[in-house]
Amino acid sequence: MKYLIGLDLGTSSCKAIAIDLNGNIVAEASESYELKIRGKYIEQKPEDWWASALNCLSRIVEHLRTNIVAIGISSQANTLLTVDKNGIPLMNAISWLDQRSEEELNEIIRTLGYEEIHDSTGMIPNAGFTAPKVLWLKRRQGKIFSRVFKLLFSPQSYIVFKLTGRFIVDRTLASFSMLYNIREGCWWSDLIELLELNEDILPDVVDSHQEVGELKEDVMRKLGLEHNVSVIAGAHDQCCAALGAGLTDTSMVIDSTGTASAIIGMVEELPPKIPRDLLCYHYVIPDSWTILGTISTSGALIDWFLKLSGLTRSYENIERLAEKVDVGSNGVMVLPYFSGSFRADIPWGSRGTIVGLTLSHGVQHIYRAIMESLAFECRYFLDLIRSINPLINKVVLVGGGTKSRLWTEIKANVYNLRILKPAIVDTAPLGAAIIAGVGTKVFRDYSSAVSSVIRFQKEIVPKDEHVAVYEDLYKKYLILSSRLGDLLSSL
């Protein structure tokens, strides 16, 4: 039997799975690493990514020993890393959550124009993207920048270098950087010139399923491998998660809920005008694009509240209590902009808030209200995607958020669509493994791979009586978020 490995380098942990060609997980491993947070400065140590990846791969190899065909990479995006000619990091990586480059972002917007940036790159200008981080680095860390051999955009590029010695970025992560022109399929010359960059400092752009090399001999020894293994570029973790949930046509959208949330659809032609609130960038399938609405703080907001309330160890208890709370959380509503906003009508520097509290409310009301408000925020993006693609008839729910039955039911009723849950809900490493199979011709194409590998275990349908209540609450949520956005951003 042949095996494929998917290696997922997320925001807080590395996960690896090995699957057989029928989609059965035959081995898995995970290891966490830290974010270093100092106000708006949020960083990670690239060495932690490598140590975690190596440990996870070692445990997979120890279990399987042989018949491993390829490794595909799934990766967080927009985490900027600088390396010298030997691939040694010159400083901590600047996380996609980091907001230090606000001034640089505003300068880019003033020079190139908000609409031009969005239309050319498909990105909603935000300090979390790679482009303003690069300008910040040049302006504020000139000594370090003068020593940079390569600018890398994500753990994908660093781990691929450590595995193979090549500096690459796949097309999904390149086009998610705000440095890439999605309409011309290359680096955006206007922004490259503004940043005064030589394109040689950027990694080579490759397709997601491209084989970028084989494991270096020293890596093989560390892993205990006796035969070589192909390394396939892989993709942005949201794209991998979407593929691992079965997104190969336009009939579905993916609700991917982890540290952040995303509503992900697929289009086979670029819209002439991308809705201002949506991101659009390359998908793993050639000649197709991801169209996506995102919330930068989703599962992270749940975790924050549980820690703040001292309820981390009693998650099941608060879930049961929240299930007993009426739809609408007895008037409590949350604006979930705890790490900025990607909605055009909400300033990106807005802040989160909890409204409607009285002395009669408990933690269960706030807990449920967070889930409802995050569902409303996702619904906003879902409706925009449906305006482009009215053929959508189902949602596939993936990521850590699927563990909550309550949240799943809330989403089905807020979206008024049936929700499917795949048998494997942590789909980012699965998607990376599928890409590895396509890249090595183990699978004929993406559609046949998905047909062979992915199965669904559960379907949740909306309840009419709850749909009606949530429809009214959703309208109120839109009014509240719009009216408070400017005020919250000024605090």
Nearest-10 crossing angle of helices 363-388, 464-489: 90
Burial class (CB in 10 A: 0-12, 13-18, 19+), 271: middle
3-state secondary structure of 62: helix
How many angstroms separate the CA atoms of 382 and 1, rounded? 40
Look at residue 345 in the predicted model and tell me its pLDDT.
85
pLDDT digits (tens, 9 = 90+) for 20-57: 999 999 999 999 999 999 988 999 999 999 999 999 99
* Under-70 pLDDT residues of the chain: none
* Nearest by Cα to 14 from 426, 449, 436: 426
Structure tokens at 370: 């967070």
Is 175:182 a contact under the CB 8 Å cutoff? Answer: yes
Look at residue 490 in the predicted model and tell me its pLDDT.
74
Look at residue 220 in the predicted model and tell me its pLDDT.
95
User: How many CB atoms sit inside 10 A of residue 359's CB?
Assistant: 4
Is 233:206 a contact under the CB 8 Å cutoff? Answer: yes
Look at residue 454 in the predicted model and tell me its pLDDT.
94
Look at residue 426 in the predicted model and tell me its pLDDT.
84
Q: Quick one: which H or E segment has residue 319?
A: helix 315-323
- Cα 27 → chain centroid: 24
How many angstroms separate the CA atoms of 106 and 301, rounded? 27
Look at residue 74 in the predicted model and tell me its pLDDT.
98
Look at residue 194 in the predicted model and tell me its pLDDT.
97
What is the DSSP track for 9-50? E-SSEEEEEEE-TTS-EEEEEEEE---EEETTEEEE-HHHHH
- Whether this prediction's pTM lies above 0.75 is answered by yes
Structure tokens at 111: 């020079």
Residues 224, 229, 230: CA angle, nearest 5 degrees:
150
* Residue carrying structure tokens 């952040």: 260
Q: Strand runs (DSSP E) across 328-471, as ranges?
A: 333-335, 353-355, 394-398, 418-422, 456-460
What is the DSSP track for 373-399? HHHHHHHHHHHHHHHH-TT--EEEEES
Structure tokens at 136: 């910040």
How many angstroms separate the CA atoms of 318 and 240, rounded? 31
Structure tokens at 236: 């942005």
Phi, psi (deg, nearest 5) at residue 471: -60, -45
Is 82:197 a contact under the CB 8 Å cutoff? Answer: no
What is the DSSP track for 232-257? EEEEEHHHHHHHHTT-SSTTEEEEEE
How many angstroms separate the CA atoms of 45 and 79, rounded? 11
Which pairs from 302-311 meet CB under 8 Å and 24+ separation? Answer: 302/367, 302/370, 302/371, 304/338, 305/366, 305/367, 305/370, 309/363, 311/363
Look at residue 311 in the predicted model and tell me its pLDDT.
82
Q: 198: which residues sit within 8 A by CB, 6+ positions away?
A: none
How many angstroms separate the CA atoms of 175 and 188, rounded? 10
Look at residue 403 in the predicted model and tell me its pLDDT.
87
Residue 31, Ramachandran bin (φ over 0: left; ψ between -120 and 50: alpha; else beta): beta
Look at residue 316 in the predicted model and tell me its pLDDT.
84
The amino acid sitting at 311 is L
* Nearest by Cα to 67 from 226, 244, 231: 226
Look at residue 434 in the predicted model and tell me its pLDDT.
98
What is the DSSP track for 193-233? HHTT--GGGSPEEE-TT-EEEE--HHHHHHHT-SS--EEEE
